[in-house]
Amino acid sequence: MTLAERLMTGLNITILGMGLVFVLLALLWALLTAMLRLDRQPTREPDGGVVPGRPGARRPVKLAPELLSAITVAVFTHQAVLRKQAAPAMRSYWPGSILFASRWVTSGRHQQTQSWNPRGR
Protein backbone atom coordinates (compact mmCIF):
# COMPACT_ATOMS: atom_id res chain seq x y z
CA MET A 1 0.00 0.00 0.00
CA THR A 2 1.44 3.21 -1.08
CA LEU A 3 1.57 6.24 1.12
CA ALA A 4 -1.13 7.91 -0.90
CA GLU A 5 -3.48 4.93 -0.46
CA ARG A 6 -2.79 4.90 3.29
CA LEU A 7 -3.58 8.59 3.53
CA MET A 8 -6.81 8.11 1.53
CA THR A 9 -7.91 5.26 3.85
CA GLY A 10 -7.23 7.45 6.91
CA LEU A 11 -9.18 10.30 5.41
CA ASN A 12 -12.14 8.01 4.63
CA ILE A 13 -12.20 6.61 8.19
CA THR A 14 -12.00 10.16 9.61
CA ILE A 15 -14.86 11.39 7.41
CA LEU A 16 -17.02 8.38 8.26
CA GLY A 17 -16.33 8.65 12.02
CA MET A 18 -16.86 12.39 12.21
CA GLY A 19 -19.91 12.16 9.97
CA LEU A 20 -21.46 9.54 12.24
CA VAL A 21 -20.84 11.73 15.29
CA PHE A 22 -22.36 14.82 13.61
CA VAL A 23 -25.37 12.85 12.41
CA LEU A 24 -25.98 11.53 15.94
CA LEU A 25 -25.58 15.03 17.40
CA ALA A 26 -28.07 16.39 14.86
CA LEU A 27 -30.57 13.66 15.79
CA LEU A 28 -30.14 14.47 19.49
CA TRP A 29 -30.67 18.18 18.82
CA ALA A 30 -33.83 17.44 16.84
CA LEU A 31 -35.14 15.20 19.64
CA LEU A 32 -34.47 17.82 22.32
CA THR A 33 -36.13 20.58 20.27
CA ALA A 34 -39.18 18.42 19.73
CA MET A 35 -39.41 17.65 23.46
CA LEU A 36 -39.13 21.34 24.37
CA ARG A 37 -41.90 22.25 21.94
CA LEU A 38 -44.11 19.52 23.31
CA ASP A 39 -43.44 20.73 26.87
CA ARG A 40 -44.40 24.34 26.03
CA GLN A 41 -47.87 23.43 24.72
CA PRO A 42 -50.68 24.49 27.17
CA THR A 43 -52.19 21.61 29.05
CA ARG A 44 -55.87 21.27 29.92
CA GLU A 45 -56.77 21.37 33.59
CA PRO A 46 -59.68 19.03 34.11
CA ASP A 47 -58.99 19.04 37.83
CA GLY A 48 -59.50 22.83 38.28
CA GLY A 49 -55.85 23.76 38.32
CA VAL A 50 -54.81 21.34 41.04
CA VAL A 51 -51.19 20.24 40.67
CA PRO A 52 -51.08 16.42 40.52
CA GLY A 53 -49.24 14.81 43.35
CA ARG A 54 -49.33 18.01 45.44
CA PRO A 55 -52.54 18.12 47.48
CA GLY A 56 -53.78 21.69 48.05
CA ALA A 57 -51.34 23.21 45.54
CA ARG A 58 -52.87 25.08 42.59
CA ARG A 59 -51.38 26.28 39.37
CA PRO A 60 -51.61 30.08 38.94
CA VAL A 61 -54.72 30.91 36.91
CA LYS A 62 -54.37 33.57 34.25
CA LEU A 63 -57.19 36.13 34.36
CA ALA A 64 -58.20 38.74 31.87
CA PRO A 65 -56.99 42.22 32.96
CA GLU A 66 -60.61 43.51 33.09
CA LEU A 67 -61.66 40.69 35.39
CA LEU A 68 -58.59 41.22 37.55
CA SER A 69 -59.40 44.94 37.84
CA ALA A 70 -63.01 44.21 38.74
CA ILE A 71 -61.95 41.75 41.46
CA THR A 72 -59.43 44.25 42.87
CA VAL A 73 -62.05 47.00 43.00
CA ALA A 74 -64.52 44.63 44.66
CA VAL A 75 -61.96 43.58 47.29
CA PHE A 76 -61.05 47.19 48.12
CA THR A 77 -64.70 48.26 48.21
CA HIS A 78 -65.53 45.41 50.54
CA GLN A 79 -62.60 46.39 52.74
CA ALA A 80 -63.81 50.00 52.80
CA VAL A 81 -67.31 48.86 53.83
CA LEU A 82 -65.85 46.67 56.57
CA ARG A 83 -63.74 49.57 57.81
CA LYS A 84 -66.66 51.97 57.76
CA GLN A 85 -68.80 49.53 59.68
CA ALA A 86 -65.93 48.87 62.10
CA ALA A 87 -66.05 45.16 61.39
CA PRO A 88 -64.05 42.99 63.82
CA ALA A 89 -61.16 42.58 61.36
CA MET A 90 -60.76 46.37 61.24
CA ARG A 91 -60.86 47.08 64.97
CA SER A 92 -57.99 47.80 67.26
CA TYR A 93 -59.70 46.07 70.17
CA TRP A 94 -63.04 44.60 71.09
CA PRO A 95 -65.62 47.11 72.38
CA GLY A 96 -65.73 47.05 76.15
CA SER A 97 -62.39 45.26 76.32
CA ILE A 98 -60.98 45.28 79.84
CA LEU A 99 -57.51 45.48 78.36
CA PHE A 100 -58.06 49.01 77.17
CA ALA A 101 -60.42 50.22 79.89
CA SER A 102 -59.00 52.90 82.14
CA ARG A 103 -59.89 52.74 85.82
CA TRP A 104 -59.89 56.52 85.88
CA VAL A 105 -62.48 56.70 83.12
CA THR A 106 -64.51 53.78 84.45
CA SER A 107 -64.72 55.33 87.90
CA GLY A 108 -65.46 58.77 86.44
CA ARG A 109 -68.27 57.50 84.25
CA HIS A 110 -69.74 55.61 87.18
CA GLN A 111 -69.82 58.83 89.17
CA GLN A 112 -71.35 60.71 86.25
CA THR A 113 -74.18 58.22 86.01
CA GLN A 114 -74.67 57.30 89.65
CA SER A 115 -78.00 59.13 89.92
CA TRP A 116 -79.60 56.51 87.70
CA ASN A 117 -81.39 54.05 89.93
CA PRO A 118 -83.78 51.64 88.26
CA ARG A 119 -87.02 51.24 90.15
CA GLY A 120 -87.14 48.18 92.35
CA ARG A 121 -83.61 46.99 91.60
Cα dihedral 5→6→11→12 (10° resolution): 70
CB of 52 vs another protein, minimal distance in Å: 36
Interface map 67-106 toward another protein (x if CB under 8 A): -------------x--xxxxxx-xxxxxxx---x-x-xxx
Indicate the residue among 7 and 101 with the shorter CB distance to another protein.
101
Please answer whether residues 89 and 82 qualify as being in contact, where contact means their C-beta atoms are separated by less than 8 angstroms: yes
User: Which residues does residue 50 pair with via DSSP β-bridges, in sequence order?
Assistant: 58
Binding flags for another protein, 24-63, as an x/- string (CB under 8 A):
----------------------------------------
Output the smallest distance, CB 34 to another protein, in A: 56
Beta pairing partners, 58:
50
The CB-of-72 to another protein minimum distance in angstroms stands at 18
Is the CA virtual torsion 58, 62, 67, 69 positive or negative? positive
Please, what is the end-to-end C-alpha distance for the chain in angstroms? Answer: 133
| Interface contacts to another protein, rule CB under 8 A | 80, 83-88, 90-96, 100, 102, 104-113, 115-116, 118
